[in-house]
């Protein structure tokens, strides 16, 4: 177990290196001069040259790449061109907000998925099952940013139940401002809508597989109703795949909610990366790709560990 964990952690090194190098190459090739974007159209050549020299953009490519890797090894992600702050700090703040959103969305979608599965499994093949199956499939097919716009129109602009945009001011945690609960609802629901479909189907399949096992039949023979047999016995054992998928969803949402974050003006990783790319804030985009890669690998690791712990077959 420990050895496998260590191997997985070591595997992170080539993965992070690959992501960092790919993004570095893309950003090296990207047209547009950060200095020009910051200083404006009327800036003179001398001003631009001074800014480029300060950022080391005037150095030859191998030297820039070498310096980038050396800094990466020291876990130094550099300083943002636009904000003048350490990239690590910028990303920490963005990651905290994105993690809260992703966790809320993953939890919501797990709940919705379980609810769908429980309802479907009462009468598999029945009308309700078919309807829920269609709804799940539809959820998977909806573009998240479009759902976000429509939810915003209905629940924020028209009904005014929720704030329109932003992360709000939640509690402080280790000096990091977390988003407000009230602001969290619409973005989390949006992401839950587009992820719960898959989860519902996996949960349904897992549940049905469990219900065909002898212990459920035995429980029913002892007089448990079908819903009770489903929830008390089958669901508990079907949690493995559900937790696995919810965890994977969480990992995916860390870097995959770019458009939704943009629509809701959610100050998280996705919006930071989009704005960094548009404003040619190269250190922020590079650092963001690295952090997201590492986070994704770590989340997958944690998910595997958790599902191993939840799988009754793997228990001693």
Residue list 106-125, contact with other proteins (CB under 8 A): 107-108, 110-112, 114-115, 118, 124-125
Size of the site for other proteins (CB under 8 A): 111
Q: Which of residues 220-239 bind other proteins (CB under 8 A)?
A: 231, 235-236, 239
- Tell me the closest approach of the beta carbon of residue 28 to other proteins, in angstroms: 9
Does 277 contact other proteins by CB under 8 A?
A: yes
Residue span 44-73 as binding mask against other proteins, x where in contact by CB under 8 A, dash where not = xxxx-xx---x-------------------
- Tell me the closest approach of the beta carbon of residue 176 to other proteins, in angstroms: 11
Does 262 contact other proteins by CB under 8 A?
A: yes
Compute the distance between CA of residue 5 and CA of residue 26 in angstroms, rounded to an integer. 32
Q: Which of 57, 92, 103, 140 binds other proteins (CB under 8 A)?
A: 140
Q: Which of residues 154-173 bind other proteins (CB under 8 A)?
A: 156-157, 160-167
Locate 190 and state its tokens.
Answer: 């949006």
Q: What is the DSSP string of the chain?
A: -HHHHHHHHHHHHHHHHHHHHHHHHHHHH--S-HHHHHH-TT--HHHHHHHHHHHTTTS-HHHHHHHHHHHHHTT---B-TTT-SBHHHHHHHHHHHHHHHHHHHHHHHHHHHHHHHHHHHHSTTSHHHHHHHHHHHHHHHS-HHHHHHHHIIIIIIIS--S-SSS-----EETTEEPPPHHHHHHHHHHHHHHHHHHHHHHHHHHHHHHHTSHHHHHHHHTT--HHHIIIIIIHHHHHHHHHHHHHHHHHHHHHH-HHHHHHTT--SHHHHHHHHHHTT-HHHHHHHHHHHHHHHHHHHHHHHHHHHHH-GGG--
- Tell me the closest approach of the beta carbon of residue 206 to other proteins, in angstroms: 11
Does 42 contact other proteins by CB under 8 A?
A: yes
Q: Which of 66, 182, 221, 225 binds other proteins (CB under 8 A)?
A: 182
Compute the distance between CA of residue 177 and CA of residue 93 in angstroms, rounded to an integer. 7
Q: What is the DSSP string of 41-56?
A: TT--HHHHHHHHHHHT
Nearer to other proteins by C-beta: 59 or 89?
89
Does 131 contact other proteins by CB under 8 A?
A: no
- Tell me the closest approach of the beta carbon of residue 258 to other proteins, in angstroms: 6
- Tell me the closest approach of the beta carbon of residue 214 to other proteins, in angstroms: 13
Nearer to other proteins by C-beta: 31 or 62?
31
Does 9 contact other proteins by CB under 8 A?
A: no
- Tell me the closest approach of the beta carbon of residue 171 to other proteins, in angstroms: 14
- Tell me the closest approach of the beta carbon of residue 222 to other proteins, in angstroms: 20
Residues comprising the chain, all counted: 316
Tell me the window of 55-63, 65-73, 88-96, 218-226 that interacts with other proteins (CB under 8 A): 88-96
- Tell me the closest approach of the beta carbon of residue 65 to other proteins, in angstroms: 16
């Amino acid at each position: 177990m420990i050895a496998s964990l260590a191997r997985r952690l070591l595997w992170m090194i080539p993965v992070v290196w690959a992501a960092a190098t790919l993004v570095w190459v893309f950003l090296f090739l990207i047209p547009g001069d950060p200095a020009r974007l910051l200083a404006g159209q009327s800036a003179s050549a001398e001003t631009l040259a001074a800014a480029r020299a300060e950022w080391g953009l005037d150095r030859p490519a191998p030297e820039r790449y070498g310096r980038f890797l050396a800094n990466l090894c020291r876990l130094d992600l550099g300083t943002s061109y636009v904000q003048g702050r350490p990239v690590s700090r910028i990303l920490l703040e963005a990651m905290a907000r994105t993690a809260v959103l992703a966790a809320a969305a993953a939890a919501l979608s797990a709940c919705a998925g379980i609810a769908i599965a429980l309802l479907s499994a009462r009468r598999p093949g029945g009308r309700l099952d078919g309807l829920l199956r269609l709804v799940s499939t539809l959820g998977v097919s909806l573009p998240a940013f479009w759902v976000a716009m429509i939810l915003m129109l209905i629940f924020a602009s028209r009904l005014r139940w929720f704030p329109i945009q932003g992360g709000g001011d939640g509690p402080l945690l280790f000096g990091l401002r977390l988003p407000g609960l009230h602001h969290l609802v619409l973005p989390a629901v949006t992401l839950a809508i587009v992820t719960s479909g898959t989860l519902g189907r996996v949960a349904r399949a897992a549940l049905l597989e469990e219900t065909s096992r002898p212990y459920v039949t035995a429980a029913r023979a002892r007089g448990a109703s079908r819903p009770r047999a489903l929830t008390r016995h089958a669901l508990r054992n079907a949690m493995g795949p559900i937790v696995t998928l919810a965890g994977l969803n969480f990992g995916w949402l860390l870097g995959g909610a770019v458009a939704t974050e943009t629509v809701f003006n959610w100050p998280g990783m996705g919006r930071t990366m989009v704005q960094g790319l548009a404003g040619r804030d190269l250190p922020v985009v590079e650092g963001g790709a690295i952090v997201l890669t590492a986070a994704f690998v770590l989340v997958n690791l944690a998910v595997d560990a958790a599902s191993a712990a939840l799988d009754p077959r793997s228990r001693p």
